[in-house]
Structure 1
Amino acid sequence: MAFANAEGGCIVVGIHSGAVDGVGEGRLNDLREVAQDFTQPVVRTRAEVLTTSDGAHVLLLRVDPGERVHETTSGDCYLRVGDESRKLGFAQRQELEYDRGGAPFDGTTVDLGVEDLDASQVSAYQLAIGSSSPESMLRARGLLTRQGRLTVAAYLLFGERPQDAFPNAHVRILRYRDVERGTGAGLTLEDAADVRCEGSIPQQITEAANVIEWFLPDRRALGASGRFERIPVIPRDAWLEGLVNAVLHRSYSMAGDHVRVEIFPDRLEIASPGRFPGLVDPSRPLDISRYARNPRIARVCSDLGIAQELGEGIRRIFDEMRARGLTDPVYTQTAGAVQLTLFFSDALPREVRESLPAGALKVLDVLRRVGRPIGTGQVADAAGVTRPTASRHLQRLQDAGLIKWEGQSPKDPRAAWRLT
C-alpha cells in the first residue's frame, strides 16, 4: 500500500540478510491474495515465483503506482518515503488525496496504438536502451499494456503532437518589461515575448530551454576562466533543473493549466500544475524526499539523459544559486500549483557589497565557485593573486562576517577558509 501511494516498487518475500530462506508453498497463494483481501481500492500487484536450484521458492511482488489513495480494510493509510513506510495522519492523508484525486496519471491508457507514435522518436529511444522492437521497448518501461494500448506517458513522450489529446501539455514562456505583470492596458508583457513550446516532452524541454536562454538577460562578470565575460543573471543549470522538474513532475491530470515560465526584470518564475506530495513542507524544500508523480515519464527521461532520478534536483538548484552568490530560491504552493522563483539579486546586502574592494569580491567568488573550504594558498592560486594579497582580502571578508577561518594554529597546514 505504501508503494502504491508513492511511485510503485518491488517486494521480495523469502530472502533474509542476503540469504534465501524461501517461502512455503502453502503460503504463496495467501501472500498473492493479500492485496485483494486487505487493501481498498485493491492495490495492483504482479506476482512471480522464482525457484532456486535447491527448490526454495521466492515470491516477487511488483507494485504499480495507484490512481487513487489506498488504505487498509481497517482504514489505515501508509506512504513510502525514502526507505520507510509512514502511517499518515488525517491532515497528511488529506494532502495526499488532494494531490492524487481520482484523476488519471501517466499509466492510464489512451485509445491509441504504437502506430500513432512518432516513429523517429521511438526508434531513437529503442536504440538508446538496446531493445529488440518498439513494442518490447514500450512494455519494458510500462508504456504499453498487454492488450497493446498506449499509456498517457507513452503518448506524451513519443507522440508527434500530444497536444491533440492533452491541449495543456505544453510550456508557455513570457517576458515582462516591469516587475509586475499589470492588467488590461497596463499589461507589461513585451511584444512577441509569449512563446508556447509544444510537441513531445523531450521536444518541449529542448525548445523551452532555447527560448529561456534567449529571453534571459546577461551581465559582464568574472567567469571561471578568470576573465570577465558575458554570463546569464541566473546559472543555466539552476533554471534548467527547475524547468525539467516542472515538466516531468507536473500533474497531467489537471487539464486546465500548463507549465508557465515568466521572466521579469528582477526574477524568473516557473509554475507547475499540481501540488507537492502529502508529507512535504514547501517552506523547507531541501528536506523534500524524491517523489515522482509521473514515474514512467521520469524513467524514460532518465534514460534520455534529461533527468537523473536521484532526488537531487532541488538541492542542485540551491547549490547553483549559492555558488553564484544569489538569493536562495523560493518555493510557494497554491491550491493547484507549485511555483519556483529564482531572483537575479545578489545574496549580499548592497551596503556590504559596496563596502568591499573589488579584489575581496573576486576572492569571495572563488570560494563560492569551489564550494568547499580551501587554504590561503589555494585561494591565491585560484584568484591569480599573491598570497599576501589573498590574505588581506580574506581578512576583509572575515571582518564582514562572510567567511570563517578554521584551524588549530596560525601554521596549521590543514587550516582552511569556508563561507559562513
Structure 2
Amino acid sequence: MDLSNYIGETSSYDKKVMLEVKRPKSWLKSVVAFANTNGGKIFFGIDDNDKLLGLENAKQDSEIISEIIKTKLDPIPQISLNIERIYNKDFIILSIFSGNETPYYLIDGASRIAFIRIGNESVIANSNQLKNLVLRGINKTFDSISSDIKIDRASFSKLKAVYYQKTKKDLVDSDLISFSLVDDKGYLTYAGALLADERLVYQSRIFATRWNGLDKANSRLEALDDKEYEGGLLYLLQSGEDFIKSNSKKMWKKGNEARIEYPDYPEIAIREALVNALIHRDYSEIGSEVHIDIYDDRLEIYSPGGMFDGTLIQEQNPYQISSKRRNPIIADLFSRMNLMERRGSGLKKILDNYEIQENYNETLKAEFRSTQSSFYIILKNLNYKVAIKNGDKKTAIKNGDKKTAIKEKQKALIIQFANEVEYFTINDIKELLELKSSRTRELLSLLVSDNILEAIGENKNRKYTLKDTN
C-alpha cells in the first residue's frame, strides 16, 4: 500500500503516531465511530504532520489492538489488521468496516458510549443519532415504524389525487399496505402518518419568511411576509412552492422566436430543494421543522438532520454523491409520483437547471452545506442586481458561445431524461426544462436529426424515445 496516497486526507481515516495502550480510548472511539457510520482506517506510525515514523514492534502492537477491541467494544465490529513495511519501517493499518449490528459501543468503566463519524471527527452520538443507530441495527428506518394511529383516523385524498395525476393510476386502499403506509394490523406507519391529509406528526411543519434585505435584522421592518404551514408532506410541498413563488419574480424580454424568461429561482430547482428538505429530514427530532428564508439575494432552505451517512455535503462532489435515504418508504412513493429523482440526483438537478438559465454565471451557483444535525440548500437569486432591459446592450444577454453552451446543456438533460423513461412527449420536456413549445420542438428536432432520438406518431400523439443503435 502506498501510504502517500493518504497523506493530508482525514475524513475517512485517522493517523496515530503510536499505539496508546494505557489510554486506548484515544483510538478506540474512532473504531466505534467508523463501525457506526461508513467504515474507515486507522494508520499507526504516522504523526499529525504526516511524517512516516514507523513502529518499534508492529507485530506485538497488532496483537494488542486485536485484544483490546475484543474486550472494550460491544458488539465487536468487523476489522482487518495489516502490517505494511515501507522505507524499512513498519506500519499498522487497521481497517474498520461499516457494521450492521449498530449501535457499536465503547465500554469505558461503567459507561457504554456510542461514537459516530462527522467529517473528520469521532463524536459522541446524541439521542436522535443513537435512535437512528438502533433502528439501523434492527434493519428499520423511522418512516417504517408503526405508529399508534389507526387507519380510520386518517384520510389520503390529497395523496390519491396527486398519485393519479402523476401516474394515471388509482391508488386504492390495498396499496396503502403494499407501499408500507399501513401495517398488517391497521395502524399507520410514520410514512403513512406523514402522507395523510391531517397533521398527525407534530413536527411535520414549514416556517417560511420573506426577510427585508440580506439578513434577518436589516431594518425596523424585518419581515415582509411570513407563514406557518402544518400538515401532510404533499400539502407542505405545495404550500412551500406557493410561498416562494408569491415572494419572487419572473422577469422576461422578447426574443427572436419567443419570450425569454428570467426567473429569480428556477421552478425545478425550487421543487428539488423542497423535496430534499421534506423527504430526507430527520423526523425523529421532536419540535423541529423545515425553514424557508427568502432574502433579497438568495433563498435558504433548512432541514433538521445532517447527511444520513454522517458525511458533510460540502466535502463531497454533488454531481457524484450516492443516494442514502433516511426515509426510504416516503422517498419511494415520491419517486413513483415523479416528484423526486429515484437515483438520488436531486442536487445535481438543481445545479443543472441553474446552468441552463440565460443569466447564469458561476457566482450564482447553488450551495449545499451540512452539519451533524442540519442541512442547508442556498439558491442564489438570478436577478439580484441585474437589470435586463429590452435593447440595452450593456445588460442584455449576448448571443454566441453562451447560448450555444446552454443549448448543448439542454440537449444533454433531455438525453439524460430519455435514459430514465421509455417514452416521453414534448410536454414532458417543456415541464422538465421550463421552456416554450417552440424552443422545445427545436431541441427535439435537433436530437432526432442527430439520430439520438426517434419520433413516433404524428402531431399531438407524437412521442419520443432513444433511438435503437443496435
Contact 1:131–1:137 (8 Å) recurs in 2: no
Residues 90-101 of structure 1: pairs in structure 2 closer than 5 A: 91=117, 100-101=129-130
CA distance, structure 1, for counterparts of residue 410 and residue 266 of structure 2: 22
Once the two structures are TM-superposed, the CA of residue 228 in structure 1 deviates from its matched residue by: 4.6
Task: Output the amino acid matched with 2:286.
Answer: A
- The residue type paired with residue 230 of structure 2 is E
| Mapped partners of 1:253, 1:358: distance in 2 | 49
Q: TM-score, normalised by structure 2?
A: 0.53
Deviations, residues 188-209 of structure 1 (Å, cap 9, x unaligned): 111xx11123321112111221
1:194 matched to 2:226: yes
- Could you say which residue in structure 2 is the equivalent of 1:311? 344
| Structure-2 residue corresponding to 1:78 | 98
1:256-405 aligned within 5 A: 256-278=287-309, 280-283=311-314, 284=316, 285-324=318-357, 325-326=360-361, 327-345=364-382, 361-372=398-409
Aligned to 1:111, what secondary structure does the other structure show?
strand
d(CA) in 2 for partners of 1:112 and 1:340? 33
- Give the paired residue count: 288
Contact 2:292–2:300 (Cα < 8 Å) also in 1: yes
> Offset at 1:241?
0.8
Q: Are residues 1:174 and 2:212 paired?
A: no
How far off is 1:373 after superposition?
11
Once the two structures are TM-superposed, the CA of residue 265 in structure 1 deviates from its matched residue by 0.7
Deviation at 1:337, TM superposition (A): 1.0
Shift of 1:112: 1.3
Secondary structure (helix, strand or coil) at the match of 1:168 reads coil
Retained in 2: the 8 A contact 1:126–1:137?
no
How far off its partner does 1:262 sit? 1.0
CA contact (8 A) 1:197 1:204 kept: yes
Structure 2 SS opposite 1:112: strand
Name the CA distance, whole Å, in 2 between partners of 1:132 and 1:227. Answer: 39
CA distance in 1 between partners of 2:123 and 2:238 (Å): 33
CA distance change for structure 1 residues 107 and 177 in 2, over 3 Å: closer, same or farther? same
Q: Does the aligned pair in 2 maintain the 1:333–1:339 contact within 8 Å?
A: yes
How far is the alpha carbon of 1:146 from its aligned partner?
Answer: 2.7
Relative to structure 1, the CA distance from residue 142 to residue 186 in structure 2 (aligned partners, 3 Å threshold; closer, same or farther) is: same
Counterpart Cα distance in 1 of 2:365 and 2:404: 17
Alignment partners' CA distance in 2, 1:230 and 1:346: 11
SS of 1:286 mapped into structure 2: coil
Identity of aligned residues (%): 21
1:235 aligns with one of 266, 272, 293: 266
The separation in 1 between residues aligned to 2:324 and 2:123, in whole angstroms, is 14
Consecutive unaligned residues in structure 1, runs of 5 or more = 1-39, 42-70, 81-88, 351-355, 375-381, 384-420
The residue aligned with 1:137 is 175
The answer to whether the 8 Å contact 1:96/1:278 transfers is no
In 2, Cα distance between the equivalents of 1:211 and 1:312?
25
Could you state the TM-score of these two structures normalised by the residue count of structure 1?
Answer: 0.59
Q: 1:277 to 1:373 in 2, by over 3 A?
A: closer
Deviation of 1:75 after TM superposition, in Å, equals: 2.1
How many Å separate the matches in 2 of 1:253 and 1:125? 26
Deviation at 1:94, TM superposition (A): 5.2
Q: What amino acid is aligned across from residue 142 of structure 1 in structure 2? A: S
Deviates more, 1:208-217 or 1:113-122: 113-122
Deviation by residue 1:112-144 (Cα, 9 ceiling, x = unmatched)? 12111215346547866968951x312211222
* Deviation digits for residues 298-351 of structure 1 (CA, Å, limit 9, x no counterpart): 11112222223221101010111122214211112234211111112589999x
Of the three residues 114, 120, 127, the one matched with 2:157 is 120
Please give the alpha-carbon distance, in whole angstroms, between the structure 1 residues aligned to 2:356 and 2:144. 38
Distance 2:209 2:142 in 1: 28
The answer on whether the counterparts of 1:112 and 1:150 sit within 8 Å (CA) in structure 2 is yes
How far does the alpha carbon of each residue in 1:7-53 deviate from its partner, in whole angstroms, 9 at most, with x for none?
xxxxxxxxxxxxxxxxxxxxxxxxxxxxxxxxx99xxxxxxxxxxxx
Q: Distance in 2 between matches of 1:132 and 1:169?
A: 23
- In structure 2, how many angstroms separate the alpha carbons of the residues matched to 1:95 and 1:240? 34
Greater RCO, CA 8 A, separation 6+: 1
C-alpha contact 2:208 2:228 (8 A) present in aligned 1: yes
* Aligned counterpart, 2:191: 153
> How far apart in 1 are the matches of 2:407 and 2:384?
17
SS at match of 1:302: helix
Match of 1:340, SS state, is: strand
